[in-house]
Structure 1
Amino acid sequence: MPFKSESPSAYIDSYYARTIAPHTARPPLRSDTETDVCVIGGGLAGLSTALGLAERDVKVVLIEARRVGWGASGRNGGFVSAGFSLSPRQIVKDLGREQAREVYDLSRDAVALIRRRIKDLELPGVPVVDGRMKVLRYHDPEQLARDCDFMAEVLAIESEVWPRERLREVLLSERYHGALYIPSGFHFHPLNYALGIAQAAETAGVKIYEDTPAVWLNLESPQKRIETPSGAVLAREIVIACGGYIAGLQPLLSGATLPVATYVMTTEPLGARLKEAIRVPYAISDTRLAGNYFRALSDGRILWGGDITARTREPGQLAKKMIDDLLSVFPQLAGVRAEDAWMGLMGYPIHKMPQLGRHAPGVWHCMGYGGHGMAATTMGGELIAAAIAERDDRYRLFSRYGLQWTGGRVIGAVAAQMTYWYYQWLDRLQEARSHG
């Protein structure tokens, strides 16, 4: 008989929750249990780690404070492509061309793995829509050509330059001056994907408990103890994959992760009006430091996201603000209404790269994806699973990007907000020069 949750941990009201695939809630942990590995966190980082471990014949228990995919993993734009929050050129500068290529290869492999899992597992409610596009909001065709060559020569990522004239045939906005089209990228329904990966993990033998927050960790002994409100998990090793919702669970990780709020909305169905603005089905984002991302949905809506704040409370009139952002790009859609608007918290490391590794004997972390996590969480989960089960040390490719202190919840949040405002000022200045 399916378990019916009576907790307040239902998914937030969003387009994804309204179009969720059939699923069954899981009961909380009600007694002590033993396992080889306990994964804390039921987002895509935790689920990918758990599935990767189970596929390698490791006994796994996963505990989730709310519901599988409840946080950022089920609230994001649904864009899947190789890469990270940190810019490719900065990664090359940090790591050198050879190692940068290796980490990008891992990210690209993760994109392919996601595609295979969707196809092989026949995940319900997860149609794949191919094509990713990065659009430029200032006139610099030489920059687009340089980026295209760099991605091909250094990172082995195929892309195509679309000049302004071609782009404006499919994105009817005066704001855009050209684009890079990346055929390997795609978009999908992230919450349904998370639910599908959870089901696949359970089929492989993972025990998943929802509404089961970790409230205390004993990490000193060889057998770790994870206390929850109604039972404990005893495990040889644990993986912490909590992202922006880690709060104070583990001070070292909490201090290295800044929770940052980001915002998404979907419009009402636009019918024929959609083609007045958008005539391609691709996942689209602009190249600004503080940019927007959007995509046309199959039912004629536009999903629109962007803006970040260090304030982790939902602002008033969020829907109006998001509509105003949309109309600043597509003024011809005046009068359109937002049907859903929501926020989520992403875990943001100061260096903008995944935090992968072991910070104490038997204690691993897999988090810190900073708004670019669809492929990177799958990559991180595979690397940590391989490290635990096979002593594979490829996760060390990311060791330069460790657990750097963010400055604390107050100082770090103020610094992050000031940095974002500075990025917005730079973006406006660059656009103004382009139009000047």
Structure 2
Amino acid sequence: MPHTPYPTSYYAASANPVPARPELQGETETDVCIIGAGYTGLSTALFLLENGFKVTVLEAAKVGFGASGRNGGQIVNSYSRDIDVIERTVGPKQAQLLGQMAFEGGRIIRERIAKYNIQCDLKDGGVFAALSAKQMGHLESQKKLWERFGHTQLELMDAKRMREIVATDSYVGGMLDMSGGHIHPLNLALGEAAAVESLGGVIHEQSPAVRIDRGANPVVHTPQGRVKAKFVVVAGNAYLGGLVPELASKSMPCGTQVITTEPLSADLAKSLLPQDYCVEDCNYLLDYYRLTGDNRLIFGGGVVYGARDPSNIEAIIRPKMLKVFPQLKNVKIDFAWTGNFLLTLSRLPQVGRIGDNIYYSQGCSGHGVTYTHLAGKVLAEALRGQAERFDAFADLPHYPFPGGRMFQVPFSAIGAWYYSLRDKLGV
């Protein structure tokens, strides 16, 4: 069977050492078979193992191969659609429960890092940067909204204060969330995988799930083996393929692009982001950036609908970086890569159960670092018979993309163009 390595990226090049995790050979039995060793799968595995379940994780490539090991590395609270949108969609009762969970994922990440001594360059502090007065007004409303749900580690900042945080004149203001922050995302995933194994969990890499036999005792097949289980958790997200047809029509893989500079001098790095916070702007198609543990600037942005890989990522992202930091015009780019995330039409995650024993969570819509860690806890609760929080997500309405899969890409691209134009016009 072909071996799938990590794609070239700064994260893969700077990953912590890992043990060999051989592919599944033959038959094994477990309580829960989890498909996908990204954040959703690993978080679910950890919560289940901590509660006495026997767990086997199947990974088609390597731990953190997908979005979990390629993202911008930013700990950002709430969901891709905020709590006010959820409230208008489903009403105050369900929104209250989802709102209480909106800030839990970041706490889970920090608890995992501390409990299992995960070395992943954790830094506190995340900034939402406003490019217009309209965006600043949105941040003022967002602060009030989040404080209504008990989240108080927030500071609104004017243009002068923003220049103390970021060495650019691009922003009219912003909001600092000290419960936000940033990490080396692949090393977080690798540390969580090690924690899974320390509790007796088993992870098989290079073991794609190719078929699920449904029924009272589901069986997950791989090319060289099979897992008999009481429950299955599907956590493949944008890399699931057609394994579960019911999940495909209501979601679409999309690509985002990231570049990483050569190491910067300590003085230059500190001048760009003196407090070492991460930053994302407030545009619909947003840009995001932060410093790494070895003083590189990671800068990402853009969306490619349908998850095609652009031919020249640096040509797309470098101009965005120089617009914010023209002082980096002579700095070399050492790494450029793309990674897929799963978009839903509502931009809210899809959570549910198929039959009595196949559970899933997918569709973080570009907001997955914190949500996936919460999802693992919620899925584990449901398997233990505590379904109130699971049901709050499962009851969110979801719809297929207009025109079916053939028109997912053009319709989504047209929508993104519209909102991007509104950002540029400030309307």
What is the TM-score with the length of structure 1 in the denominator?
0.93
User: What residue number does 1:429 align with?
Assistant: 425
User: Alignment RMSD, CA only?
Assistant: 1.8
- CA distance in structure 1 between the partners assigned to 2:313 and 2:57 by the alignment: 34
Please list the CA deviations of residues 64-90 of structure 1 after superposition, one character each: whole Å capped at 9, or x if unmatched: 100110000000011113211113321
Please list the CA deviations of residues 158-202 of structure 1 after superposition, one character each: whole Å capped at 9, or x if unmatched: 311110111123323222110101111111111111111111112
Does the C-alpha gap of structure 1 residues 403 and 32 become closer, same or farther in structure 2, counting only changes over 3 Å? farther
Select which of 246, 252, 257 maps to 1:263.
Answer: 257
Select which of 323, 327, 332 maps to 2:322.
Answer: 327
Gaps of 5+ in 2: none
Gaps of 5+ in 1: 1-5
Deviation at 1:230, TM superposition (A): 0.5
| C-alpha contact (below 8 Å) 1:110/1:375 kept by paired residues | yes
| C-alpha contact (below 8 Å) 1:351/1:401 kept by paired residues | no
- CA distance in structure 1 between the partners assigned to 2:4 and 2:110 by the alignment: 29
Letter in 2 for 1:106: M
Deviation at 1:7, TM superposition (A): 4.7
Deviation at 1:365, TM superposition (A): 0.7
User: What residue number does 1:3 align with?
Assistant: none
Please list the CA deviations of residues 200-224 of structure 1 after superposition, one character each: whole Å capped at 9, or x if unmatched: 11222211111001111211x2111
| C-alpha contact (below 8 Å) 2:252/2:306 kept by paired residues | no
- CA distance in structure 1 between the partners assigned to 2:138 and 2:102 by the alignment: 24
4+ residue stretches of structure 1 with deviation over 6 A?
Answer: none
Matches within 5 A, 1:131-150: 131-140=125-134, 141-150=136-145
| C-alpha contact (below 8 Å) 1:82/1:104 kept by paired residues | no
Matches within 5 A, 1:6-85: 7-85=2-80
- CA distance in structure 1 between the partners assigned to 2:305 and 2:72 by the alignment: 19
Number of corresponding residues: 424
- CA distance in structure 1 between the partners assigned to 2:367 and 2:354 by the alignment: 23
Deviation at 1:343, TM superposition (A): 0.5
Deviation at 1:337, TM superposition (A): 1.9
Partner of 1:168, secondary structure, is helix
- CA distance in structure 1 between the partners assigned to 2:114 and 2:335 by the alignment: 29
Letter in 1 for 2:282: T
- CA distance in structure 2 between the partners assigned to 1:150 and 1:387 by the alignment: 28
User: What residue number does 2:399 align with?
Assistant: 404
Moved more, 332-341 or 147-156: 147-156
Partner of 1:20, secondary structure, is coil
User: What residue number does 2:190 align with?
Assistant: 195
- CA distance in structure 2 between the partners assigned to 1:222 and 1:353 by the alignment: 30
Deviation at 1:113, TM superposition (A): 1.8
Does the C-alpha gap of structure 1 residues 134 and 42 become closer, same or farther in structure 2, counting only changes over 3 Å? same
| C-alpha contact (below 8 Å) 1:63/1:210 kept by paired residues | yes
Letter in 1 for 2:372: T
User: What residue number does 1:370 align with?
Assistant: 365
Partner of 1:390, secondary structure, is coil
Deviation at 1:402, TM superposition (A): 4.7
Moved more, 241-250 or 96-105: 96-105
Partner of 1:169, secondary structure, is helix
Letter in 2 for 1:416: S
User: What residue number does 2:95 align with?
Assistant: 100
What is the TM-score with the length of structure 2 in the denominator?
0.94
Moved more, 191-200 or 407-416: 407-416
